[in-house]
Amino acid sequence: MSWLPWPVLPKKQWPQVRYGPKRAISEDEHRQIVEREHNPERRAFYELCWLLGGSQGDIANLIAEDIDWRSQVVSYRRKKTQTVALMHFGEDVATILRGLPQAGPLFPYLCRVRASDRATEFKQRCRGLGIKGVTLHSYRYAWAERAKQCGYPERFAQEALGHNSKAVARAYARQAKVVLPPLESFEKQAQEATILPFPAAAGAAPQRRTAAQS
């Protein structure tokens, strides 16, 4: 009835949404941020984001009860997907956790701060150091890329990141650079692994045979 000043565009005719470039934070950039951070709670928060690869909301809302010290496991339910993230931790994470509260929230201040405010504080620190193109979410990209580079099995990374789809885990690590070892080294390892000892007879010298001969 010509009530609208212009026609409504169907969904297919809307311009395609183009997101800005995303990348992982490098170890050098992370170290610069941590070394310049004087607040111990925020410094520990950035360290756990680097070591655990969790989203900023999940890490900020960790509580002491999420930590199983006997098995050295951190487990929590992701706020975004409600899937369970389960991660074993080593001595580096244990050292940080020992310096945090042993009951209740690990980050009493940051857990009460809005996600946008945590992101703004991080952006301010990056700006002061001249670091561009990274956000708190870049820690998840960094964890996935580090996992791929060192040969960490994809199914383990998938569990650690709390994803249900391998495609999502691959998307996080799509920019990882992997140095492929030579094939002959794997072939030699396989050949050595197939050499099996003969059962030694009484008084006889031990012999060796290959798997193909057995």
Give the confidence band of 17 by pLDDT, cuts at 50, 70, 90.
confident
User: What per-residue confidence (pLDDT) applies to 184?
Assistant: 72
Give the confidence band of 2 by pLDDT, cuts at 50, 70, 90.
low
User: What per-residue confidence (pLDDT) applies to 214?
Assistant: 45
Question: Which among 131, 164, 127, 170 is positioned nearest to 147, based on CA atoms?
Answer: 170
What would the pLDDT profile of 50-70 be if each residue is shown by its tens digit? 999 888 999 999 999 999 999
What would the pLDDT profile of 80-89 be if each residue is shown by its tens digit? 888 788 888 8
**Average pLDDT of the residues in 200-214:** 50
What would the pLDDT profile of 92-149 be if each residue is shown by its tens digit? 999 999 999 999 999 999 999 999 999 999 999 999 999 999 999 999 989 988 888 8
Residue 166's identity, in one-letter code, is: K
| CB crowding 87-97: b at 16 or more within 10 Å, else e | bebeeebeebb
End-to-end CA distance of the chain: 87
Distances (CA, A) of 1 to 8, 10, 11: 13, 18, 21
- When mean pLDDT is compared across 52-61, 136-145, 153-162, 202-211, the lowest value belongs to 202-211
Question: Which among 19, 12, 15 is positioned nearest to 171, based on CA atoms?
Answer: 19
Q: What is the third-level CATH fold of 27-172?
A: hpI Integrase; Chain A (1.10.443)
Any bridge partners for residue 76, and if so which? 85
Residue 146's identity, in one-letter code, is: R
